[in-house]
Amino acid sequence: MSIQVEAVAKRFVRNRREVLAIDNLSLEIESGEFIALVGPSGCGKSTLLNMIAGILDCTAGRIVQDGQEVRGVNTRVGYMTQADSLLPWRSAEANVWLPLEIRHVSRQQRAERTKALLEMVNLSGFGKHFPNELSGGMRKRVALAQVLAYDPGTLLMDEPFGALDAQLKLVMQDELMKLWERTRKTVVFVTHDLAEAITLADRVVVFTGRPGRIKLIEKITLPRPRDVFRVRFQPGFQEVFERLWQALEGEIRKGEAL
Ligand SMILES: Nc1ncnc2c1ncn2[C@@H]1O[C@H](COP(=O)(O)OP(=O)(O)OP(=O)(O)O)[C@@H](O)[C@H]1O
Ligand SMILES: [Mg+2]
């Protein structure tokens, strides 16, 4: 068992106003599992990732990874946050090796590892480019390479491809799937795109509107390896999509009524 979220709640207090972002949420994520989280905006998806990453404390409950309670920054996870976290004044390669620099990895090892990582995300030859000289998709790839530089067992990805156009998104999904097939890291992947969730994940978790709780968990049994360009036409995909959409739609409509 890799990550256990045990009856977790998160309450924020801001200007004496309280927001209960997540309430009584329990979830077990298995080692090597690819799990996707979907839910209406503001239901606490990023908050949950922040708690798994140890950046935020739980107000109630706890998160346990490999038998150890998460307290303080969790160095066992790599976290691709919702915001683009590349440093604009560092080249792509210097962004990728930042985590290695922090760990005092030797210059030569750093260079070798960075080269391999840039190759892995299909960016060989772009190492010297600065973030503003790269496309949106390329920046996301650099961010992915940077997270992989830690070689974490677990990857937390918060809407990593959300801002990309539909075609580029598929290309990125394809790369991520191939990488995951090779490495079988545990992935917790937040998305608003239900088709993306079904295409990639072993299980899709639908959250309720705030306070976020689990509304539905659907096991995705589509065979692997999956062809991200074609999987949506496979038998079974549409039925799963409809079931999940119904659960999600209900929560989105509730939010509209508020
Ligand atoms: N640091 C914070 N301080 C105060 N309130 C916060 C903080 N972080 C999140 N919140 C609140 O908690 C709730 C959940 O936010 P969160 O970012 O987790 O939602 P989300 O599900 O990731 O939404 P989206 O899909 O739009 O990214 C929101 O109401 C938000 O305003
Ligand atoms: Mg979010």
State the distance from the centre of ligand 1 to the C-alpha of 111, rounded, in angstroms.
Answer: 37
Tell me if 47 CB under 6 Å of ligand 1: yes
Of the bound ligands, which one is closest to the alpha carbon of residue 48?
1
pLDDT attached to residue 85: 82
The residue whose CA is least distant from atom 17 of ligand 1 is: 46
Distance CA 155, CA 53 (A): 10
pLDDT attached to residue 241: 97
- The set of residues, in sequence order, having a beta carbon less than 8 Å from that of 223 and lying 6+ positions away, is none
Buried-state track 6-21, b at ≥16 Cβ within 10 A, e below 16: eebbbeeeeeeeeeeb
Q: What is the mean pLDDT of residues 84-91?
A: 91
Residue of 79, 98, 76, 101 lying closest to 88 (CA atoms): 98
The residue whose CA is least distant from atom 11 of ligand 1 is: 21
State the distance from the centre of ligand 1 to the C-alpha of 42, rounded, in angstroms.
Answer: 5
Q: What are φ and ψ of residue 61, in 5° steps?
A: 75, -170
Distance CA 258, CA 251 (A): 11
Distance CA 255, CA 212 (A): 12
The residue whose CA is least distant from atom 5 of ligand 1 is: 12
Distance CA 219, CA 7 (A): 21
* 76 pLDDT higher than 70: yes
132-156 pLDDT per residue, tens: 999 988 998 999 899 888 889 999 9
The residue whose CA is least distant from atom 12 of ligand 1 is: 21
| Cα atoms in the 13 Å half-sphere on the side-chain side of 24 | 1
169-197 pLDDT per residue, tens: 998 899 899 999 999 999 999 999 999 99
Whole-structure pTM value: 0.94
10 by DSSP, 3-state: which? strand
Tell me if 12 CB under 6 Å of ligand 1: yes
The residue whose CA is least distant from atom 28 of ligand 1 is: 42
Q: Is the peptide bond before 211 cis (omega within 30 degrees of 0)?
A: yes
Tell me if 124 CB under 6 Å of ligand 1: no
Strand partners, 18: 13
State the distance from the centre of ligand 1 to the C-alpha of 227, rounded, in angstroms.
Answer: 33
Q: What are φ and ψ of residue 119, in 5° steps?
A: -65, -45
Q: How confident is the model at residue 1 (pLDDT cuts 50, 70, 90)?
A: low
pLDDT attached to residue 103: 84
In order of their start, the domains of the chain are 1-76+188-258 (3.40.50.300)
| Higher per-residue confidence, 136 vs 157 | 157
For ligand 1, pick from 22, 25, 43, 158 the residue to mutate: most ligand atoms within 8 Å of CB.
43
pLDDT attached to residue 228: 97
Residue of 210, 145, 135, 220 lying closest to 175 (CA atoms): 145
Return the structure tokens found at 9.
């709640």
